[in-house]
Amino acid sequence: MSQLKHNIIANFLGRGWASVMSLAFVPLYIKFMGIEAYGLVGFSATIQALSGLFDMGLSSTLNRELAILSAQEGKQKDSRDLVRTLEVIYWGITSIIGLSIFLLSPFLAQSWIKSQALSKESVQMAIALMGLVIAFNFPFSLYSGGLLGLQRQVLLNGIVVSMSTLRGIGMILILWLVSPTIQAFFIWQAFISVTQTLITFFFLWRSLPKSQISAKFSKNTWLRIWRFSAGMTGITLVSLILMQTDKILLSKLLPLKEFAYYNLAATVASGVTIVIYPVFTSVFPKFSELVSRKEEEKLTQLYHKSAQLLSVLVIPLCVTLSLFSKDILMLWTGDPVIAQNAHVIASFLVIGTSLNGLMNIPQALQLAYGWTELAIKINIVSIAFLIPVMFLLANRYGGVGASIVWLILNASYVLIGIRFMHTRLLKGELMTWYSQDILRPLLGSTVIGFIFAIIFKGSFYNLSVNLFSLTFVAIMIFLGSFITTPLTNISIKNFLAKHWAR
């Protein structure tokens, strides 16, 4: 269990630092390149997310399979053949992605993106360069999935921290000293992406168990894992449709400037994933290991502990970002126009993303059991609701309409979707998940959050006062969640009892 704690800490540090590097420089990107160019950065993120469909669940499959194989004796050759098999497939897909985006760049520049300040030629070149960035970055998912499965998460996060620092600082220097253009932005991104992928490739192969027989592409390996991979492909497909429909529609419906406001709001909401990703990536391999050993009692305990840990981190962040979104945007960008246009969207997106994040532990449990059908069925029903409603509201109300649909969709997962899972896995644990894992930290955070929202309403004027006040409020909201969550409440009692005994 100590390794799990180390992995969680490493993932928090790695993900947190990468997010800081990403978020801290956004105002400078806008300052150097302009708001429309930043809209293209957001469009690039959407295209990159869509390219995840071509992952076909292979990175998650590698994660799960290596976690299982590492718990068994004499599986060195199987582990190496698994990586080589998926690697061959992945690099073939990589070349297709890069070429496809390059060929589509004229159409996207001329008929999809509604630019005003940027010329069509500049937009087309930027999209072509996006293809390079996405293609070079794509194999990183596979190699990082392998390191996660081997539970080499400290190593992986060392790579992430180093490369995200180089990416962010190097980008600012290039925009400042070389060329403040969107083309320069994507050229540097491409260089960092290929460097990061090659470094992760090297360390994954070095971390695999040694074998006297060379690794090779194995048809039998593929036949053994294809069902889980196909299920993950289905989950990836419907998840991408659900998570990217808003951005795809808005990139077509809205002027590039307004689309940039939506992407800024989405970037604020993505701050919640800083705490979601580390917990999920740490517990998923451990879930897979416990499932393979049929240790259900330990699995149940870990399920609730990890769910409560995620709640005590996600919910306070959600309350803070949603209630004080306008102040945070103003503090972050220094631009009252951006804050005014993006804060309502940001609040709705933050709540929706947080609800989605709370479902990550149940999802990790399903994947550990290899049960992919439930997520696919629920998401197909969700898509049938999402696409027509999203189109209508986004077309009429723009970003605000799209963000409301996102909130409603994820609320339905928490209220309805989780019930189906507990009819099959960890039966009888549903009400514990609601009452102990979710409701108690939710009440602790929201009560304090609304009190401070009333107290501080309209009082954030000076930048330094704003920063100090928001930090204080965030800490108090977190404490409200911390002291009401069973897991942390027990930790507090144990700590006090230990020191009281002294």
The per-residue pLDDT for range 353-380, each reduced to its tens digit, is 999 999 999 988 988 888 878 887 887 8
pLDDT of residue 104: 86
Burial of 419 (0-12, 13-18, 19+ CB in 10 A): exposed
Q: Are 263 and 42 in contact (CB under 8 A)?
A: yes
Instruction: Name the residue with tokens 């290929």.
Output: 194
Which residue from 244, 242, 235 is spatially nearest to 409, judged by alpha carbons? 242
Residue 47, amino acid: I
Q: Residues of the chain with pLDDT > 70: what percent?
A: 90
> Beta-carbon neighbour count of residue 328 at 10 Å?
23
313-326: average pLDDT: 91
Element containing residue 198 per DSSP (H, E): helix 182-207
pLDDT value at 181 more than 80: yes
CA distances for 167 relative to 196, 266, 349, 433, angstroms: 10, 21, 27, 39
pLDDT value at 498 more than 60: no
Rounded-to-integer distance, Cα 198 and Cα 187, Å: 17
The per-residue pLDDT for range 379-435, each reduced to its tens digit, is 788 888 878 888 888 888 888 888 898 899 889 888 888 888 898 888 888 999 998
Average pLDDT of the chain to the nearest whole number: 82
- H helix intervals, 334-372: 336-358, 360-368
DSSP class of residue 181 equals: S
pLDDT of residue 361: 92
- Main-chain dihedrals φ then ψ at residue 428, nearest 5 degrees: 85, 0
pLDDT value at 71 more than 70: no
DSSP class of residue 489 equals: H
The per-residue pLDDT for range 23-55, each reduced to its tens digit, is 778 888 888 888 888 888 878 887 777 777 676
pLDDT value at 216 more than 70: yes
* The token pair that represents 299 in the structure block: 């699995």
